[in-house]
């Protein structure tokens, strides 16, 4: 049996090595267009920044090491230019040059990855992209030449990582994002925290703006502003590399990737597709989606190898869990965000909390912002986001595991998570999300969201800030009245409206006040996440009171 794999790195090499462990006799040939077949793609930005100083640390395996251990026939600088499904052959060009040869297969695995999005704007050829080791070598060499200023186009994962690493190397950097926020997987009130962190570290951030032209000395924005730059990086995003698949007549799915079944087979039963080029099944709605993450590519490779040799397969859908470091912040998300839920018309509840990452009385406790999205009838967890400096990865991983296990949001309160003062709290932040969800789903309390404060006030709701006078003086929601929670019982006669939105700092005191008001006949709603969430949201930008 001969298996030909087009493309290495995560998906292709996982398929190759798993297949060899399952079948010691199969002929396995890996064809890789670049000069490197197995490298840490996610580490490339950190080589640019000098955080990873030795390029060898990025290279996980070589053709020689893969042959020595697995007897794999790995051919780098070998570009597949055509696939012929009828004859089960591929045409291979040896780079550099034009010489080609045909190679037959019994099974073919496509792992071409994704290509950087390069918009058709004048001068785009002046911009660098980051996808391969060769790309990072060119970019690192440019940084070594000490550019005076850099511009990064795109505020996604790679754009933020490149921006951070350029700043780390002492290069003044502007970041341009066409939408009104960085980090598309986040909702706006969470993304605002990331934007603040970028500005705090000196990034010249341009949101809701786009690049219309790249000249020799810089970039021209749609606003007319010109940003000087002798280094421009295009990190606008990636799209599945489906050229070979399309030309071979394979089905391209609705999401734009290669359509595959639960075994990662394409429309040709002898051809599989894995990694960034292949579509995935979304765990929340069962639809096709694109999630360019290394762990999913590795999983794909294993599934394909198992299926080829006839092992039982456990199909797995994706929830899109991701994390990124942005200077001193850690930003993570899993599942759907509120923007996507709203666009799909899916009912949901949003829960905001701002817990410390470990017990507050133990030195070094650091705050984080958590957002949980819940289906209001079943309590199913639809997604979560987290931004903070410590403990973010732990919480998002627990929630991602809960989603995979089918736990409901209230059941987060039941999780027995490791606790000691240096590591967590007796009520872990994840447990607290479960408690809040249970209160909301059972009707014990009702919440209001940051974007509802103004509409509710216009409907006649009283905005009641129950923090201390000092906190109230430092900033509140416009139009709010201040009665501290500890004085609320004695001053309830001052409340001249039956409908009330209760505001505190993060929602905890607001919960106490809301319960008290409801017990006395008021229609009270607690502002989710309190003032802490409101003042980082778009609602605060035009009317923040200090």
What are the residue ranges spanned by the domains of the chain?
2-115+239-308, 124-236, 328-441, 447-540
| pLDDT the model gives residue 39 | 78
Spell out where 35-159 has E strands.
38-39, 59-61, 73-75, 78-84, 89-94, 100-104, 107-110, 114-116, 150-153
Distance CA 245, CA 513 (A): 60
Q: N- to C-terminal Cα distance for the chain?
A: 72
Fold held by 2-115+239-308: FAD/NAD(P)-binding domain (3.50.50)
In this prediction, the residues of the chain whose per-residue pLDDT falls under 50 are 543-546
Residues in the chain: 546
pTM of the model: 0.93
Task: Please provide the DSSP assignment of 4-52 as one string.
Answer: EEE--HHHHHHHHHHHHHH-SS-EEEEE-SSS-SEE-GGGHHHHHTTSS
Location of structure tokens 């859908």? 317
The alpha carbon of 275 is separated from its chain's Cα centroid by a whole number of angstroms, namely: 16
- Burial profile 198-235: b = 16 or more Cβ within 10 angstroms, e = fewer: beebebbbbeebbbeebeeebbbbeeeeebebbbbbbb
Task: Give CATH for domain 124-236.
Answer: 3.50.50.60
User: How would you list the strands of the sheet with 73-75, edge to edge?
Assistant: 73-75, 27-31, 2-6, 107-110, 271-273
The answer for residues whose C-beta is within 8 angstroms of residue 32's C-beta and 6 or more apart is 7, 8, 12, 74, 75, 76, 77, 78
Distances (CA, A) of 443 to 237, 435, 447, 546: 42, 12, 10, 34
In degrees, rounded to 5, the angle at the alpha carbon of residue 22 between the alpha carbons of residues 17 and 26 is 80
Distance CA 267, CA 259 (A): 7
The dihedrals phi and psi of 383, each to the nearest 5 degrees, come to: 175, 170
Distance CA 110, CA 19 (A): 15
Catalytic residues: 42
Q: Are 427 and 404 in contact (CB under 8 A)?
A: no
Fold held by 447-540: Oxidized Rhodanese; domain 1 (3.40.250)
| pLDDT the model gives residue 292 | 87
| pLDDT the model gives residue 539 | 82
Of the candidates 358, 480, 384, the residue with the CA atom closest to the CA atom of residue 436: 384
Asked whether this chain's domains 124-236 and 447-540 adopt the same fold, the reply is no
- Among the CATH numbers 3.50.50.60, 2.60.40.420, 1.20.1630.10, 3.10.129.10, which is that of 328-441? 3.50.50.60
In degrees, rounded to 5, the angle at the alpha carbon of residue 17 between the alpha carbons of residues 12 and 22 is 125
Assign 1 to helix, strand or coil: coil
Location of structure tokens 């999630």? 291
Q: Are 250 and 256 in contact (CB under 8 A)?
A: no
| pLDDT the model gives residue 546 | 29
């Amino acid at each position: 049996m001969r298996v030909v794999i087009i493309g290495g790195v995560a998906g292709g090499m996982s398929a190759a090595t798993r297949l060899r462990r399952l079948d010691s006799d199969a002929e396995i040939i890996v064809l890789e267009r670049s000069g490197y077949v197995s490298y840490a793609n996610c580490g490339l930005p950190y080589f640019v920044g000098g955080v990873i100083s030795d390029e060898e640390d990025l290279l996980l395996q070589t053709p020689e090491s893969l042959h020595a251990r697995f007897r794999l026939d790995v051919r780098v600088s070998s570009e597949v230019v055509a696939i012929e499904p009828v004859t089960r052959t591929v045409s291979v060009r040896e780079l550099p040059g034009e010489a080609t040869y045909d190679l037959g297969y019994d099974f073919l695995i496509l792992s071409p990855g994704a290509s950087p999005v390069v918009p058709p704007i004048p001068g785009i050829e002046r911009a660098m992209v980051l996808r391969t080791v060769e790309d990072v070598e060119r970019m690192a060499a440019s940084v070594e030449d000490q550019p005076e200023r850099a511009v990064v186009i795109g505020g996604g994962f790679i754009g933020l990582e490149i921006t951070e690493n350029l700043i780390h190397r002492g290069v003044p950097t502007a970041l341009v994002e066409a939408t009104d926020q960085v980090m598309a997987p986040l909702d706006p009130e969470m993304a605002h925290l990331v934007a603040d962190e970028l500005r705090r570290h000196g990034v010249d951030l341009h949101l809701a703006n786009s690049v219309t032209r790249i000249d020799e000395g810089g970039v021209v924005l749609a606003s007319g502003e010109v940003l000087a730059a002798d280094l421009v990086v295009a990190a606008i995003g990636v799209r599945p590399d489906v050229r070979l698949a399309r030309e071979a007549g394979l089905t391209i799915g609705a999401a734009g990737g290669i359509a595959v079944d639960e075994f990662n087979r394409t429309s040709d039963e002898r051809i599989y597709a894995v990694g960034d080029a292949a579509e995935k099944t979304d765990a929340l709605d069962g639809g096709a989606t694109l999630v360019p993450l290394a762990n999913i590519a590795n999983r794909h490779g294993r599934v394909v190898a198992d299926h080829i040799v006839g092992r039982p397969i456990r199909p797995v859908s994706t929830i899109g869990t991701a994390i990124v470091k942005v200077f001193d912040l850690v930003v993570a998300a899993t599942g759907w965000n509120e923007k996507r839920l709203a666009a799909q018309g899916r009912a949901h509840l949003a829960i905001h909390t701002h817990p410390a990452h470990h017990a507050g009385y133990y030195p070094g406790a650091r705050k984080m912002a958590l957002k949980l999205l819940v289906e209001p009838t079943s309590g199913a967890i639809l997604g979560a986001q987290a931004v903070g400096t410590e403990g973010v990865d732990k919480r998002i991983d627990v929630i991602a595991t809960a989603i995979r296990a089918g736990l409901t949001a209230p059941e987060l309160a039941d999780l027995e998570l490791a606790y000691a003062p240096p590591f967590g709290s007796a009520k872990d932040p994840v447990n607290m999300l479960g408690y809040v969800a249970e209160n909301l789903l059972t009707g014990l309390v009702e919440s209001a969201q940051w974007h509802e404060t103004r509409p509710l006030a216009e409907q006649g709701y009283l905005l009641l800030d129950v923090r201390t006078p000092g906190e109230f003086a430092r900033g509140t929601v416009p139009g709010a009245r201040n009665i501290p929670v500890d004085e609320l019982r004695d001053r309830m006669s001052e409340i001249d409206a039956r409908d009330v939105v209760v505001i505190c700092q993060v929602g905890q005191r607001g919960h106490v006040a809301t319960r008290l008001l409801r017990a006395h006949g008021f229609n009270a709603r607690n502002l989710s996440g309190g003032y802490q969430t409101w003042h980082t949201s778009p609602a605060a930008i035009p009317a923040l009171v200090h």
